[in-house]
Each structure stands twice: as C-alpha cells, then as structure tokens.
Amino acid sequence: MKGVRASRATTMRKLTSNVPSDAASATRLSSAGAVARSIGAKCLIIAIGAATGIISARALQPAGRGELAAMILWPVFLASALTFGIPSALTFQLKRNPEKHSQLMGAALLLALLAGGLAALVGTVLMQSWLAQYSPKTVLFARIFLLSTPLTSLSLVARAAFESRGDFAASNKILVWTPALTLLVLLALSASHAMTPYSAAAAYAPVVVIPLLWMRRRLWRMFEPSLESFRSSVRLLFSYGIRSYGIDLCGTMALYVDQALVVRVLQPKMMGIYVVALSLSRMLGLAFHASVVTVLFPRTVSESPNAVRELAGRAARLSTLVTALAGLGVVTLGPQLLALLYGSEYRGASAVLRVLIMEVVLSGAALVLSQAFMALERPGVVTALQIAGLLLTVPLMLFLVPRFGILGAGIALLLSTTLRLIFVLVSFPLFLKMRVPQFLPSWRDLAFIVDSVFKQGILSPKKQMLATGEGD
C-alpha cells in the first residue's frame, strides 16, 4: 500500500507540475484573498477594540482602567500560556492526516478543556499573592472570571480547526463576535451610568459563551468529533504539540508577560496608562502580522522547503512594511492621539508608546518568519530560540520596571524582541540549511501587491467566492 500511495503521489506531482499557470494563479488568489479577508476582520476587531478601550478608559480613568486590566488579563493569558501546543498540532495533523479528522478533533477538544481547567486552577492559587496591592474585591472578581478560561482554550482549538480547512471566515467570526458583544455591554453600562471596574469586567469574560455555542454546531457538522482511538490521537497531537509549545508559550509571554509583571509592581493608575499605550500599539500587529500568520501556516505545511522560505520571506517583508508605515503615523500623532481618544490623563503614555510601536514591528516580523520552521516540521528550533528571548525579557523587566516604570517595561520588550528576531534569522542557515530570506521589500513585492489586489480581483467579492468555493 505504501508503494501505491507513493506512486499516486508521484503521479499527482507530475500532473500538477504541468497544470497551466491559471491554477497557480487561483492558488495565489485564494491565499492572498484569505489574507485580505483576515486583515479586514482584524481591522474590524481593531475598531471594536479601540471603541471598548476608549469607553472604558474615559469612564474609569487610569486607576479604574488599571483595576479592570488586573481582572480581565488572566483568562486569556493563562489559556494561551497552557495550550501545550495543541492548536498548532491540530492544524498540522489535520493537514497531514485528514482521514483522522474526527478522532483528532475530539481529542483536541478534550485536551483543551483539561488544559483550560488546569490554567484556571493555577490562576486561582496564585491570584492573591500576585495582586497584593489591589483590593480584596478586585482579587475576588479576578478569581471569578477565571471560570471562563476553559472556554477560551476551546476557542483557540476551534479556530485552529477551522483554519486547517481554509475556513478563515469561521475563525474570524469567533474573533469578532466576542469583542463586539463586549462593546454592546459596555455601551449599555455607559448609557445607564452603571460602569465600574467590576461591571466593566463582567462585559469581557462571560461573552465568550455565545460564540462558543455557534462554534460547537459548526465544528460538529464539519468534523464530527469522536474519542475513538483517543490515545493514538493524543500521541499524534503531542508529538508535534510539545515541540511547538515553546513557540505558543513564548508568543503568549511576549504579549502578556509585561502586563503580568507590571500589574505586580506598579499601582493601578500606572497600570491603566500602560495598558492604554500597549493596546494602541498592539492594534498594528493584530491588523497585519497576525492576519498573515493566520493564513501562512496552514497554507505552507505541504509546500517544498524553498517555497516555504519564499512565502515566509515575502509575507514578512510586506506585513512588516505596512506595519512600520502605520506605526510611523501613530508615533507622529502619539500625544494628540492619546488625548483625543482616551483623555488628557493618558498623555503620559506617549514615550512608552513610541518604544512599543518599534517592538511590535520587529516582533511581528519574527512571528511571520518563524512559520517557516513550523511548516517544515522544525518547531523545536524556534521553541529553543524563543525561550532564549523570553529568558532575557523577565530579568530585564524585573530590573528596568522598578527603576523606569512603564518606559522600562517597553525597553525590556524591545531588547528581547530584537534578540528573538536575530535568532530566527540566523536559524535559517544553521538549522534549515538555506539562505536567510530577503528582509527588505523590493519592487517585485510591490508588484505582487498590485497584481493581487487589482489584476486578480482580491477586492471583488464575486471573484473571492469563486476562488474559495464560498459561493457553492
């Protein structure tokens, strides 16, 4: 049977090598269209996130905004930190073993539920000592909201499953619905003059339930999750997941470790100012780099090494260029933007905002390039390199934050991210035995954008549906 499968695979490669360029063009259209739609969804999330941030920051002032951040940080942080690589492993194994989709999906959901429960338990135990400078009421509400941690873990697995099937629309819906529902609740609280840090926190944590109900129906229709061959499925998931877990963990730490440490060291007012600057800078990475990664990893799993290198390099160049240009505009308008959107009390965040913008540009580039190692089944390499960067972040934060406050937190993140990007670049010749991808954008990249957007009709909904089969 192995010989028959190998023969069939060889035949298919020969056939596809002679397929006209229209097929390649359609594939490129599908990928670029998926990125475009993902960016559109991320931009919508950014707009919703900006609205929720503005409403809460203006209503609660810096101290209240800091208390809110201390309560709502933990479910997402802990669920993302304790994934054990299951979402990435599910994406990889569903692409490699599509005939086992039911068993893999069932095992992944159960593992995610257990991991989320463990994360909630860890948070409950550590919360009192970690939020020592906050009121007992704040600590109590933070513990209550940890009950949503398993739901967050399930949503991470569900998005990975949808993306493995190319159903980026479903993945984006999960991302959009939660902040949209949060915004509606915040608007109601603001209109009724009932917004406090605690009522606002209640608008963030429980709203994940409604998207999960929709997600369950769609998942069962697509995958029919089953616990048959559970041990075999778990072995498949962990064989890849444990090696990629370091990437998930370091990515989570890069996003949240600064907040976790700042909330431990600083008073609520400074925490509120830092969170506002951080959320404004993170919008750029969410719009561009995160959108590219969503599509890049599932689409490159079965490609040749050279194709993976070229795709990852081009994606990194283009997303970094766009992010840098957008970041330049934010830095230029920093103080005015902060005062206009959030209030004059937040002008003090302009200095750390400039540092955080630079950090977002570099960290996004490292994230996109690391997808090449994921697709070529070398996640352990990036795990080791990311851990090295993380080991630098924590001592820098502990050293700089007490001395320089929130600016020290930004500098610590920037130094660590720079080292992580250098590690990823050097790893291409060391571990993949290939040249470092071109990092600076070229005219060919700009021509690719023009060709994808205008000639291939990325902006045409009808052509998008024909290319991706959404119109069936």
Query: Per-residue DSSP letters for 307-320?
Result: HHHHHHHHHHHHHH
**Residue 413: closest CA among 266, 276, 282, 247:** 282
So what's the pLDDT on residue 298?
62
* pLDDT at residue 372 greater than cutoff 80: yes
So what's the pLDDT on residue 462?
36
Q: Give pLDDT tens digits for 106-136.
A: 999 999 999 999 999 999 988 888 888 888 9
| pLDDT, average across residues 76-103 | 87
So what's the pLDDT on residue 179?
84
So what's the pLDDT on residue 62?
92
So what's the pLDDT on residue 411?
94
Would you place residue 35 in the very low, low, confident or very high pLDDT band (cuts 50, 70, 90)?
low
* pLDDT at residue 38 greater than cutoff 90: no
- 348 contacts 410 by C-beta, under 8 angstroms: no
The mean pLDDT value of the chain amounts to: 79
So what's the pLDDT on residue 47?
81
**Residue 253: closest CA among 416, 119, 91:** 416
So what's the pLDDT on residue 362?
92
The answer to whether the Cα torsion of 79, 85, 87, 88 is positive or negative is positive
Q: Which distant-in-sequence residues (6+ apart) come within 8 Å of 393 by Cβ?
A: 253, 254, 257, 258, 412, 413, 416
Q: Give pLDDT tens digits for 51-60.
A: 888 899 988 9
CA angle 138, 142, 143 (to 5 degrees): 120
**342 phi, psi to nearest 5 deg:** -105, -20
Report which of residues 304 and 408 the model is more confident about. Answer: 408
Would you place residue 32 in the very low, low, confident or very high pLDDT band (cuts 50, 70, 90)?
low
So what's the pLDDT on residue 288?
65
Q: Which distant-in-sequence residues (6+ apart) come within 8 Å of 58 by Cβ?
A: 342, 343
* pLDDT at residue 9 greater than cutoff 70: no
**Residue corresponding to tokens 């075999």:** 232
Would you place residue 302 in the very low, low, confident or very high pLDDT band (cuts 50, 70, 90)?
low
So what's the pLDDT on residue 19?
38
So what's the pLDDT on residue 17?
40
Q: For residue 304, what are the CA distances in angstroms to 301, 309, 313, 382? A: 9, 9, 14, 19
Range scoring the smallest mean pLDDT among 25-39, 72-86, 422-436: 25-39
Q: Cα–chain-centroid distance for residue 314? A: 19
* pLDDT at residue 289 greater than cutoff 60: yes
d(C-alpha 286, C-alpha 39), whole Å? 8
| pLDDT, average across residues 173-178 | 80
| Greatest Cα pair distance in the chain | 71
Report which of residues 462 and 81 the model is more confident about. Answer: 81
**Residue 62: closest CA among 268, 244, 251, 250:** 268
